[in-house]
Amino acid sequence: MPVDGSTTIARAGNAQVRGPGRGLTEADLLEMYRTMALSRTLDERAWLLNRQGRAAIVPSSQGHEAVQLACARATDPALDHYLIYYRQLPLLIALGVTPLELLRGFLAKQGEPMSGGRQFPMHGACQRVDAFSFSSVVGTQLPQAVGVALADAMRGEKRVSIAFFGDGGSSQGDTHEAMNFAGIHRLPVVFLCENNRYAISVPMRKQMAIDSLAVRAEAYGFPGVSIDGTDPQASYEALSAAVDRARAGKGPTLVEAMIERIFPHTTDDDQRKYRTAEEIKHARDHDPIPVLEAKLRQLGALDNATFDRIWADAKRVVNEANEQADADPYPDASEMFTNLYGARFTTPEPESRPARPRHVAAA
């Protein structure tokens, strides 16, 4: 891995991204483990920066790593679009967003590629890796993904849009509209639900009366599968099949990846108020990182020295990025309105405001 922590996947051609055939090689799995270590170290650092009062709010991606890294490998980053939300830090790293850029975002420093430090962390767009337009307005990315897929289909381009959402997002009307439209027009979209069974404090059983939301796909006229999203291999196989289907013009697939949210919803949340200690322990026991570590050790692909080196490298990269981001300036006030939609974004002068009718003023 290069010293700046950027990964080899970034904007690579398909041949370099995919493992041979349908499976992932040991080397692929080891590379995924490296990216997981980097993502986890960065995630923990961002949380720490919040607790020091330096990062405003942090959504943790701990527990979500395996399926996101499988998605980066199953897609073609040189072609495909990623309509993400705020919990896709591992995916962004796999696509080539650097830890320095991400830390600049958490610290609201100049030079991060998503909003130039003007937005909530993990919000905005990163054109370089075709990731947009991530925000915390739940579900908005799904109709947008369908719109992007429709544009690609109309232009005859063989690109696939991946729409990321959570179990909470599945309750939004936008999700129904997006899936229905995509099903009718057989659009090249993969709906990827990272089902961590919580929407902040609301458990899945209060969101839906079914055990798996993959069954909903049938009502939209396309396949739905539910997979173990902590397993890189299972995730890669399901996502590769869905991506191939979309690229071949056969339409969407809903992939429901069952995972665990290990940390609270964000740094503003305390999950001990609504999850038992046993349940939190269960989530930690399904952490994809030790699961993959055990598998690699069993395959003979990871020994103690390699393990130590991977985590030491991740720490060094994050430390260096953190030092640099600390030293970086905040955005200059003169740039406050740069890249905002609309040429003028100022408070109207009082005399230019339309006069209010008397009955409104009195109300």
Catalytic residue numbers read: 261, 265, 274
Main-chain phi, psi angles of 20, to 5 degrees: -65, 145
Q: Judged by CB, which is closer to ligand TPP: 32, or 84?
A: 84
Q: Considering the complex, what minimum distance in angstroms separates the CB of residue 215 from ligand TPP? A: 18
How many chain residues bind ligand TPP (CB under 6 A)?
Answer: 15
Give the one residue of 63, 168, 229, 264 binding ligand TPP; rule: CB under 6 A.
168
Q: Judged by CB, which is closer to ligand TPP: 73, or 87?
A: 87
User: Applying CB under 6 A, does 110 fall inside the site for ligand TPP?
Assistant: no
Considering only the stretches 4-12, 132-140, 142-150, 252-260, report the one whose residues sit in contact with ligand TPP under the rule CB under 6 A: 132-140
Q: Considering the complex, what minimum distance in angstroms separates the CB of residue 275 from ligand TPP? A: 13
Q: Considering the complex, what minimum distance in angstroms separates the CB of residue 141 from ligand TPP? A: 11
Q: CB nearest ligand TPP: which residue?
A: 166
**Window 260 to 289, contacts with ligand TPP (CB under 6 A):** 261, 265
Cα separation, 299 vs 26, whole angstroms = 8
Give the one residue of 18, 34, 81, 87 binding ligand TPP; rule: CB under 6 A.
87
User: Applying CB under 6 A, does 196 fall inside the site for ligand TPP?
Assistant: yes
Q: Which long-range contacts (C-beta less than 8 Å, at least 24 apart) are formed by 211-214?
A: 212/256, 213/167, 213/170, 213/254, 213/256, 214/254, 214/255, 214/256
Cα separation, 242 vs 224, whole angstroms = 9
Closest CA to 122 of 143, 80, 146, 93: 93
Cα separation, 102 vs 113, whole angstroms = 8
Based on its alpha-carbon atoms, the radius of gyration of the chain, rounded to whole angstroms, reads: 21
**Window 11 to 50, contacts with ligand TPP (CB under 6 A):** none
Give the one residue of 121, 166, 229, 288 binding ligand TPP; rule: CB under 6 A.
166
224 near 215, Cβ under 8 Å?
Answer: yes
Angle at 144 (CA atoms; ends 60, 172), nearest 5 degrees: 65
Q: Considering the complex, what minimum distance in angstroms separates the CB of residue 171 from ligand TPP? A: 8
First-last CA distance in the chain? 64
User: Residues near 62 by Cβ (< 8 Å), separated by ≥ 6?
Assistant: 40, 43, 261, 262, 263, 287
Considering only the stretches 49-57, 75-83, 131-139, 289-297, report the one whose residues sit in contact with ligand TPP under the rule CB under 6 A: 131-139
β-strands 81-83, 131-134: how paired?
parallel
Q: Is the dihedral of CA 212, 251, 180, 90 positive or negative?
A: positive
Q: Judged by CB, which is closer to ligand TPP: 31, or 194?
A: 194
Main-chain phi, psi angles of 334, to 5 degrees: -65, -15
User: Applying CB under 6 A, does 136 fall inside the site for ligand TPP?
Assistant: yes
| DSSP label of 354 | P
Q: Considering the complex, what minimum distance in angstroms separates the CB of residue 265 from ligand TPP? A: 6
Considering only the stretches 41-49, 151-159, 196-204, 243-251, report the one whose residues sit in contact with ligand TPP under the rule CB under 6 A: 196-204
Q: Judged by CB, which is closer to ligand TPP: 164, or 245?
A: 164
Considering only the stretches 18-26, 106-114, 133-141, 319-327, report the one whose residues sit in contact with ligand TPP under the rule CB under 6 A: 133-141
The length of the chain, given as a count of residues: 363
Q: Judged by CB, which is closer to ligand TPP: 165, or 222?
A: 165
Look up tokens 């027009």; give the residue.
Answer: 185
Closest CA to 34 of 74, 2, 75, 82: 2
Give the one residue of 145, 199, 292, 310 binding ligand TPP; rule: CB under 6 A.
199
CA 348 to chain CA centroid, Å, is: 38
Considering only the stretches 27-35, 164-172, 296-304, 335-343, report the one whose residues sit in contact with ligand TPP under the rule CB under 6 A: 164-172
Give the one residue of 5, 105, 113, 169 binding ligand TPP; rule: CB under 6 A.
169
Cα separation, 270 vs 116, whole angstroms = 29
Residues that bind ligand TPP (CB under 6 A): 87, 136-138, 165-169, 196, 198-200, 261, 265
